[in-house]
Amino acid sequence: MCRLQKIRERQAENQGWSCIYCEQPMWRSDPAAFAVRHGLTLRRALLLQATAEHLVPASEGGEDVDDNIAAACLY
């Protein structure tokens, strides 16, 4: 697991596996099980995959550190 993935996992855990922006639940693996558990279509569930979001973009000098990464869904 790369550094950014580890930070994403920590941040998702700290956020209770809820998106930083929309507060929807997110998943790390097995989108089909996530869809069933939350009563969603698989298409909708795929949009709720946890990703790493740079608060200050890397293109603007933002680093891969805990204080600059939040977990967010694709939605």
pLDDT tens profile 50-64: 999 999 999 999 999
Q: State the Cα–Cα distance between residues 37 and 54, nearest whole angstrom.
A: 29
Q: How far apart are CA 5 and CA 8, in angstroms?
A: 5
What pTM was computed for the model? Answer: 0.90
The model's pLDDT over 4-48, given as tens digits with 9 standing for 90+, comes to: 999 999 999 999 999 999 999 999 999 999 999 999 999 999 999
Residue 16 one-letter amino acid: G
Q: How far apart are CA 63 and CA 4, in angstroms?
A: 10
